[in-house]
Structure 1
Amino acid sequence: MGKHKRIGPAVVLSLAACAAVSTAVAAPAAAATCYASGGNLYCDNAPAPIYAAPQYSRPNGNPERVVDRLLTTFSYFKCYRTGQQHGGGNNVWYYTYGDQTGSWGYVAAVNVYTSVDPYPGVAHC
């Protein structure tokens, strides 16, 4: 017969914690909900600032004015424009209105959970 080695409760807890973490990491992420209709985009998004122009900063280096914020996580986007490059690896910005004051402006596509930018069927502004 082989020898069995006893392990303490701390090791058992550590193994259980590792199993929980590996299970959480292995679970597939839910797919974003996006669709275009009538040239408009309806899509999941991150809460994000809405800028007056499709850029974070002006050519002189000053920051672009934030006109409102998206607070919800599913929003309407009227159209798209190209602008300043952002962390999403492209220069697409979506035009929408904010949740705080209803002001219109641009959100970088990195904050909109589309599978491709510009999203097919969305009108160019």
Structure 2
Amino acid sequence: MRPRGIIVVSALAAAGLLLSTFPASADSRSPVAPPAPTRVSTPATSDPSADSPTKLADLCWNRENRWWCSNRTPAPIYEAGTTNIIDYLLTNPSVFACRAEGNRNNNGPHPNRWEWTNGDVTGRWGYVMDSWISSETDPLPVC
């Protein structure tokens, strides 16, 4: 039989190891991106791709280990898996962590694509519809 002290120390060490695998909430790095939103109904007037002519877009670019893309503003950011707008991108260009394919959200070149980013108002992480991004998003890593 093990002494009680060893069991308690072992349990605390395991808990510390487990906690150390998650980034702190104040960490500015992107958390692991959850699945893209499942359904967002977008009126034609809020889909920026609806009134933009078809043209070749500039590519998103990587600078100092961060992916930058040109985008329209204010771009709504959706909570993962919901239709809730949780923040907005107010800057152009903006930093994006990765891209994911989800449900259809626009009529642009990537109608099912969403990009994972954090907002400029509250700093919350969420997804932006690909149609709000004017750069070609193929270079972004997959979430």
TM tier, smaller: 0.5 to 0.7
Question: Following the alignment from structure 1 to structure 2, what is the Cα–Cα distance between the partners of residues 65 and 75?
Answer: 21
Are 1:49 and 2:76 counterparts? yes
> What are the superposed Cα offsets for residues 20-41 of structure 1, whole Å, 9 maximum, x if unpaired?
xxxxxxxxx9x75631358752
Are the equivalent residues in 2 in contact too, given 1:53–1:105 (CA < 8 A)?
yes
Give TM-score, length-normalised by structure 1: 0.58
Q: Is the 8 A contact 1:39 1:78 kept in 2?
A: no
For 2:43, the equivalent position in structure 1 comes to none
Question: Is 1:105 the equivalent of 2:105?
Answer: no
Q: Which segments of 5 or more consecutive residues in structure 2 lack a partner in the other structure? A: 1-54
- Aligned pair count reads 85
Structure 1 residues 42 and 105: CA distance shift in structure 2, 3 A: same
Residues 1-125 of structure 1 aligned to structure 2 (within 5 Å) = 32=58, 34-36=60-62, 40-47=66-73, 48-53=75-80, 64-87=83-106, 88-89=108-109, 90-115=111-136, 117=137, 119-120=138-139, 122-125=140-143
Q: 2-side partners of 1:37 and 1:96: how far apart? A: 16
State TM-score, norm by structure 2: 0.51
Cα pair 1:46 1:111 within 8 Å, conserved:
yes
CA deviation vs aligned residue, 1:36-80 (integer Å, no higher than 9, x gap): 3587520110111000126xxx5xxxxx11110011121000011
Whose strand fraction is larger, Structure 1's or Structure 2's?
A: 1
| In 2, Cα distance between equivalents of 1:101 and 1:52 | 13
**Counterpart residue type for residue 127 of structure 2:** Y
State the superposition RMSD in angstroms.
Answer: 2.5
Considering only CA atoms, is the larger Rg found in Structure 1 or Structure 2?
1
Aligned to 1:73, the other structure's residue is in SS state coil
What CA distance in whole angstroms lies between the structure 2 residues aligned with 1:85 and 1:123? 20
